């Protein structure tokens, strides 16, 4: 059992190193260089980032674990309880942890969609980093008379659902989709 625990820890550290290398840049042959000035587009903030971490307590006497979500650096951030909202202009990336009674991310996110009266929207299985239990919910709604497009990724975490929500005006959504794609490189290092 200790070999499994050590093996899991080694894999977790390796995944974290890969994610960190992606966000911090550099490579085997890349010399260290001064950071370039940021481009004028808001999505440039995804090049470097930090992690939003959701910790889960020890279960049944075992070691606790956590989910780490890469988030953009340089965006305005607000926090309330388990929710962290990152904003740059009209772009929003929000992470949260919500309790669920369902047994998996797909049915949990479907319940969240139904509660938000978005029953006609589609929730489907998704890949989110090294977490096998994930789902994606895409929808469009009106905010102050203007359409907003949103994608919510739900990651199963026992009796909780960790969500990653990306929202933007439809014209900006696809152009800045890299913000969500980077955040979906979720890891669970243990």
pLDDT of 78-104, one tens digit each?
Answer: 999 999 999 999 999 999 998 888 888
* Residue at 37 is within a domain: no
174-184 pLDDT, tens digit per residue, is 999 999 998 88
**Percent share of the chain, pLDDT over 90:** 28
Residue with tokens 């995944």: 15
Is residue 167 scored above 90 in pLDDT? Answer: yes
Per-residue pLDDT tens over the stretch 119-160? 567 889 888 888 888 899 999 988 899 999 999 999 877 778
Cα 141 from chain centroid (whole Å): 21
Q: What is the pLDDT of residue 25?
A: 40
Residue 19 lies in a domain: yes
Residues spanned by the domain of 19: 2-32+42-183
Is residue 150 one of the residues assigned to a domain?
Answer: yes
The whole-model pTM stands at 0.68
Q: With pLDDT > 70 as the criterion, what percentage of the chain qualifies?
A: 67
Q: What is the pLDDT of residue 64?
A: 64
pLDDT at 77: 92
CATH of the domain at 118: 3.40.1000
- DSSP H helices, the chain, are 2-24, 105-115, 170-173, 178-183
- Give the model's pLDDT for residue 116: 82
Q: Specify if 46 maps to a domain.
A: yes
Q: What is the pLDDT of residues 36-47, one digit of tens each?
A: 333 334 443 444
Name the 3-class secondary structure at 19: helix
* pLDDT (0 to 100) of residue 132: 80
Q: Number of structural domains, the chain?
A: 1
C-alpha to C-alpha distance for 166 and 168, rounded to whole angstroms: 7
């Amino acid at each position: 059992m200790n070999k499994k625990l050590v093996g899991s820890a080694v894999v977790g550290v390796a995944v974290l190193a890969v994610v960190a290398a992606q966000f911090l840049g550099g490579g085997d042959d890349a010399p260290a260089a001064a950071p370039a000035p940021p481009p004028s587009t808001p999505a440039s903030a995804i090049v470097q980032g930090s992690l939003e971490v959701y910790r889960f307590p020890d279960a049944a006497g075992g070691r606790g674990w956590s989910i780490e979500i890469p988030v953009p650096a340089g965006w305005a951030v607000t926090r309330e309880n388990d929710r962290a909202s990152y904003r740059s202009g009209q772009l929003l990336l929000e992470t949260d942890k919500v309790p669920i009674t369902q047994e998996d991310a797909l049915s949990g996110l479907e319940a969240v969609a139904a509660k938000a009266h978005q029953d006609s929207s589609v929730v489907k299985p998704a890949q989110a980093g090294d977490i096998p239990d994930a789902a994606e919910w895409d929808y469009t709604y009106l905010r102050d008379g203007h359409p907003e497009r949103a994608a919510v990724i739900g990651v199963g975490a026992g009796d909780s659902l960790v969500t990653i929500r990306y929202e933007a005006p439809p014209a900006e959504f696809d152009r800045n989709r890299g913000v969500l794609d980077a955040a979906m490189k979720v890891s669970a290092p243990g």
